[in-house]
Structure 1
Amino acid sequence: MKITIKDASKFVDQEVTIGGWLASKRSSGKIAFLQIRDGSGFIQGVVVKADVGEEIFARAKSVTQETSMYVTGVIQKDERSPFGFELQVKDIEIIHESLDYPITPKAHGPEFLMDNRHLWLRSKRQHAVMKIRNEIIRATYEFFNEEGFVKVDPPILTGSAPEGTSELFATKYFDEDAYLSQSGQLYMEAAAMALGKVFSFGPTFRAEKSKTRRHLIEFWMIEPEMAFIEFKENLEVQEQFVSSIVQSVLKNCQLELNTLGRDTAKLEQIQAPFPRITYDDAIKFLHEQGFEDIQWGDDFGAPHETAIAESYDKPVFITHYPTKIKPFYMQPAPDREEVVLCADLIAPEGYGEIIGGSERIHDQKLLEQRINEHGLSEDAYKWYMELRKYGSVPHSGFGLGLERTVAWISGVEHVRETIPFPRLLNRLYP
């Protein structure tokens, strides 16, 4: 019977066949230990010379790293194994021999590993990160479906660059200029006026020449928009969503978290509600911590966000940023026009902002005023302004960056490990 490794628990004491690759091996006298992977997981195959004979044992000892094979044996419980099971091997059938596999058990530099990303994905660590990413994606769909959201797909190609082209990738759309999307938000606002509560989940692009561990050129965004939802309600949805995906990973990815050496005690504390601090109070706090360079009206950098986050054991909302440093579409606070009803959600442990969100301007005249103040094209925004012309309502939304969230939950340092094939400032290969 052919099975996958993840289903091994269902076949204890039964003879099965697993199609897989050799991740690594070691031998001790007349026993060989094969670490076998099949994409669904890793299992140790134990080959005893007295049980399999000379030919099979010689095959086990000579098989090379990443050789593909069918391994037949009996599944047995093994309390010493992180997986909990092992395979008592009876037969090995080589499918394709792998020679001179470049990624060996020795240490390799990050550039070498990135050049071989197509192969590095096979490693146990990268496998664990990708499984956690997949669980976050699965939990995202589950959360929004259960909360009555409709999935809507905004376009990746846009016909204008109304906020300027400095961080956009330009391309040709037949005989017109086009740009890769930085965000689906504006289109999601239109969708919310049609469907009430919506979310998108897709790639976005930033032509930002940043080399930090938090930045990618191409990354994936989860962007909900909600009609009739105001600022405080928007924060509640965000903290419920983040709590939900963290708890889903804790429930379904314990093996992967253990593989990465993640301190799960810190994740277990991630339950709504989350603390909130205003921008004003954040500035005061930073001054008390010795950050004299930051002044009211400045945006926060990574050191500032980290200092604030270190005061909490949960993600923290920083709210009510100055109007002048935030996008034109954010609703001003009713009692203070110099700040807007927005919040950034800062993850603990130095991982920075994972969500940016706000209540959106729903008054047509105010939106027109903001567009003019920012020197934007009214023609480019004609359709967007019409959303306020025909039955406008208060509405809010946010965007969560998937890769930063994966990095935080899995505990890896650099976002380049959280996407299968990262696009960085100096990397378009493989």
Structure 2
Amino acid sequence: MIVKITISEASKYVGQEVTIGAWIANKRSSGKIAFLQLRDGSGFMQGVVVKAEVSEEVFQLAKSVTQESSLYVTGIIREDERSPFGYELTVTNLELIHASVDYPITPKEHGTEFLMDHRHLWLRSKRQHAVMKIRNEIIRATYEFFNENGFTKVDPPILTGSAPEGTTELFHTKYFDEDAYLSQSGQLYMEAAAMALGKVFSFGPTFRAEKSKTRRHLIEFWMIEPEMAFYEFEDNLKVQEEYVSHIVQSVVKNCSLELKTLGRDVSKLENIKAPFPRVTYDEAIKFLHEKGFEDIQWGDDFGAPHETAIAESYDKPVFITHYPTSLKPFYMQPHPERADVVLCADLIAPEGYGEIIGGSERIHDYNLLKQRLEDHGLSSDAYKWYLELRQYGSVPHSGFGLGLERTVAWISGVEHVRETIPFPRLLNRLYP
């Protein structure tokens, strides 16, 4: 009996006759031979159909089969050094499952809007397949890192009654007879979890009602948010650089074919190992002035051009630390010697991909946190539970949030975050 396998298992069956359920990604043929580009979700592989070695019916099917038709393809696995995959299939039989007619995404060039309208089909392409496999590897490596370092996964709610950073960029909804918002961060709940479980992390969707059209922004995106009891500012930075190093090297190790498909310069990724360089906000402002950015002054937030200019000085991600208190949310711990800055850091990816992590030590003093809530015009009643975390055994604690899609974009080398999530939600796109 012929065994049924996936393309990714081909290396285990060299010289054996197998059957693969596959789709036709592309094909070409001459008079006596047909080359079928097969895909099955696990990978891409070439099937070679030689007229003299198969029935006339099978060869005619190989020549006439259309793009994205589905088949059972039977053949013998051969090693092939010319193939990026390393193997090909010498076809002995084809069984058509479904003939695809007028598949809209052809091998020619298509515009971005057309491809986004057909995102449900565009995902089948070799490039998009590679990006999704890299995304999956980052997720796998994330669980591996935190599980191996004593973290417990906790799932914060998506519907919340308050916001960690104000409600101006939140999606509002009704929760029966009261107001609710789609979460923009699970952080506050993760702080509560850290007081119960020590070291925790979450991984889930977050939402920003931000009317931005840049290549770095999505309306719905996924965040990895660790929170750690008894961890101070320096401890927090160490976890961040070790975690980012781990996921990058995991992709280098396990996604070499996908990185090659995307044309990624792997040498740049191989260099991403802790520790990472650091500059203070003060130093960054001085540096930007020296680079000719006279428009930015102390107290201003950095835009994409500023972050890119800073990152270009380094071949690793760089921490920008100690931002002005006025720029950051209410919960960040002030610098012990400077009331005008807080113990926070943004991690800026190299090659112009911008901020991938924001993190800080959190305020653990009850009175100071209550004062900060008042300063920001936030209701102490709405944050009563959050304040109580500082009443019952408060400890220094820190955490951060990593945006998955920006990280996927950087590691895979794709220009726009819309390609880093299966079905992107953008300012003017809710379809498909």
Distance in 2 between residues matched to 1:45 and 1:259, nearest whole Å: 19
Letter in 2 for 1:104: T
The one-character-per-residue Cα deviations of 1:306-349 (angstroms, maximum 9, x if unpaired) are 00000000000000000010001000010111100000000000
- Correspondences of 1:24-423 after superposition (within 5 Å): 24-161=26-163, 163-423=165-425
Letter in 2 for 1:409: I
Q: Contact 1:331–1:361 (CA<8 Å) still a contact in 2?
A: yes
- Equivalent residue of 2:395, what SS? coil
Distance in 2 between residues matched to 1:248 and 1:350, nearest whole Å: 22
Give 1:265 deviation, angstroms: 0.5
Distance in 1 between residues matched to 2:263 and 2:352, nearest whole Å: 17
Q: Contact 1:17–1:73 (CA<8 Å) still a contact in 2?
A: yes
Q: Contact 1:23–1:65 (CA<8 Å) still a contact in 2?
A: yes
Distance in 2 between residues matched to 1:374 and 1:51, nearest whole Å: 77
Distance in 2 between residues matched to 1:369 and 1:159, nearest whole Å: 21
Distance in 2 between residues matched to 1:163 and 1:61, nearest whole Å: 59
Letter in 2 for 1:46: V
Distance in 2 between residues matched to 1:375 and 1:327, nearest whole Å: 12
Give 1:163 deviation, angstroms: 4.4
Q: Contact 2:165–2:329 (CA<8 Å) still a contact in 1?
A: no
Distance in 1 between residues matched to 2:167 and 2:314, nearest whole Å: 37
Distance in 2 between residues matched to 1:308 and 1:28, nearest whole Å: 54
Give 1:159 deviation, angstroms: 1.7
Give 1:162 deviation, angstroms: 6.6
The one-character-per-residue Cα deviations of 1:44-77 (angstroms, maximum 9, x if unpaired) are 0000000003211100000000000000000000
Aligned positions, number: 430
Q: Contact 1:347–1:408 (CA<8 Å) still a contact in 2?
A: yes
Distance in 2 between residues matched to 1:202 and 1:163, nearest whole Å: 18
Give 1:176 deviation, angstroms: 1.8
Give 1:161 deviation, angstroms: 4.2
Distance in 2 between residues matched to 1:103 and 1:304, nearest whole Å: 38
Q: Contact 2:164–2:185 (CA<8 Å) still a contact in 1?
A: no
Aligned to 1:8: 10
Distance in 2 between residues matched to 1:172 and 1:97, nearest whole Å: 47
Distance in 2 between residues matched to 1:148 and 1:161, nearest whole Å: 28
- Equivalent residue of 1:423, what SS? coil
Distance in 1 between residues matched to 2:282 and 2:166, nearest whole Å: 29
Distance in 2 between residues matched to 1:429 and 1:325, nearest whole Å: 35
Q: Contact 1:25–1:34 (CA<8 Å) still a contact in 2?
A: yes
- Equivalent residue of 1:407, what SS? helix
Give 1:29 deviation, angstroms: 2.2
Give 1:172 deviation, angstroms: 1.6
The one-character-per-residue Cα deviations of 1:92-119 (angstroms, maximum 9, x if unpaired) are 0000000000000000000000000000
Q: Contact 2:311–2:352 (CA<8 Å) still a contact in 1?
A: yes
Q: Contact 1:318–1:344 (CA<8 Å) still a contact in 2?
A: yes
Q: Contact 1:330–1:358 (CA<8 Å) still a contact in 2?
A: yes
The one-character-per-residue Cα deviations of 1:142-184 (angstroms, maximum 9, x if unpaired) are 0000000000000000123474432110112122221100000
- Equivalent residue of 1:285, what SS? helix
Q: Contact 1:163–1:376 (CA<8 Å) still a contact in 2?
A: no
- Equivalent residue of 2:313, what SS? coil
Greater mean deviation of Cα atoms: 28-37 or 115-124 = 28-37
Q: Contact 2:165–2:330 (CA<8 Å) still a contact in 1?
A: no
Q: Contact 2:163–2:184 (CA<8 Å) still a contact in 1?
A: no
Q: Contact 1:162–1:381 (CA<8 Å) still a contact in 2?
A: no
- Equivalent residue of 1:389, what SS? coil
Give 1:34 deviation, angstroms: 0.1
Which segments of 5 or more consecutive residues in structure 2 lack a partner in the other structure? none
Distance in 1 between residues matched to 2:180 and 2:331, nearest whole Å: 22
- Equivalent residue of 2:55, what SS? helix
Q: If the length of structure 2 is used for normalisation, what is the TM-score?
A: 0.99
Distance in 1 between residues matched to 2:218 and 2:274, nearest whole Å: 29
Q: Contact 1:16–1:73 (CA<8 Å) still a contact in 2?
A: yes
The one-character-per-residue Cα deviations of 1:224-243 (angstroms, maximum 9, x if unpaired) are 00000000010000000000
Distance in 2 between residues matched to 1:333 and 1:2, nearest whole Å: 62
Distance in 1 between residues matched to 2:28 and 2:337, nearest whole Å: 69
Aligned to 2:431: 429
- Equivalent residue of 1:113, what SS? helix
Q: Contact 1:162–1:376 (CA<8 Å) still a contact in 2?
A: no
Instruction: Kindly report structure 1 stretches of 4+ aligned residues shifted beyond 6 Å.
Output: none
Q: If the length of structure 1 is used for normalisation, what is the TM-score?
A: 0.99
